[in-house]
A = this chain, B = another copy of it.
């Protein structure tokens, strides 16, 4: 099954916007056990579009075209698709009516140029877009099946997952059920996790489980793609592999699937009716900014403080210099002065000198409750920006571990001595 993607639009071709639709589509296809073989980017230009469609139509089995379905004159996908297939454009009455009711529900009259969005090539199968006026469509051009999708990311995403990928899988004759299981970790590098997980795929003797990674510093995503005849088959294959991944990565798994680290922390705090105060220095508000705005945080997030120097924290005298005593004193004072059940203090000392790849930072993390105080010292050599990103993640992960009763001082790959 050879799949190609054609991204259209002057905004993408000129770099005005970064083409995140391409990476999104490619990933989603990979997650479904499919692979993209070729990508093309062209502008809103008749000659280029026609040439791109023709080249793909002789090379590929399936082609996803993104963009060019809008109501304006530079949206050309339907016109060029019809031209490439040698068929006429015809009015798709059902979609026209759906668009009209879309506008009516919003107390507006449909502008006449939207009619263009209901003009589809005569041989096209309409693909529903439940959240926009650009319907998709599928049709044959040459030897390939073409799938036309809208450029608006949230419309594309829904159509790709609900309609396009199932159709491609059906054509590929792939097993009916595919499932993607994801684990999010912090503190272990990709090659380290790859080593730790050596052989887990083989726990499904049918070869239905594929292991993959996606690193976005400072987090790593470990992905298991499972193919099976139905969801029962998928779960049967997945269960032993998931158990083994959990056993091997252990405390480093901080979230699964659509969970986020900050969401896990917030839920754990909410579960014990806890409240949180955060004190930051060089992270400058970025730890608070991960949690404070989340739905549900209004009852949990008590207070955040950002100071570059800690001479004035809540009027409490602090020991001089940065070390265990200071970290404990800050966490204790923050908790007591703001009336929170939990305090997280993250104090950072950068090395002297200009920013550089190996500039170091010493990170002190203190977590206090009425009855417990955990302190961790960590050192990262990675330049200002990565020290800050790493410290935010390390601090949130230490708080997760604290709340889950796990050790907060477990060594991570990114730290030095």
> What residues of chain A have their CB less than 8 Å away from a CB belonging to chain B?
7, 12-20, 22-30, 35-43, 48, 55, 214, 278, 280, 282-289, 291-293, 295, 297-298, 301-309, 312, 338-339, 355, 384, 388
Contact = CB atoms under 8 A, between A and B. Distances in A.
Contacts of A309: 298
B27 A38 contact: no
A163 B30 CA distance: 36
Given A15-B27, A292-B284, A305-B303, A40 B39 contact: yes
Nearest to A309: B298
Contact of A285 (B39, B40, B289, B388): B289
Contacts of A41: 22, 38-41
8 contacts: A14-B27, A16-B23, A18-B18, A19-B22, A284-B291, A284-B293, A295-B355, A304-B307
Contacts of A284: 288-289, 291-293, 297, 301, 304
A17 B13 contact: no
B42 A14 contact: no
Most buried by B among A12, A28, A29, A38: A38
Contact of A17 (B23, B278, B287): B23
Contacts of A29: 15
A323 to B, nearest CB: 19
Contacts of A48: 37-38
Contacts of A7: 39
Nearest to A355: B295
Given A37-B43, A286-B289, A303-B305, 18 more contacts: A15-B27, A15-B29, A16-B27, A18-B18, A18-B23, A19-B23, A39-B42, A40-B41, A278-B306, A280-B285, A284-B288, A284-B297, A285-B288, A285-B306, A289-B289, A295-B355, A298-B308, A301-B308
B306 A292 contact: yes
A100 to B, nearest CB: 21
Given A42-B38, A301-B308, A20 B18 contact: yes
A309 B301 CA distance: 9
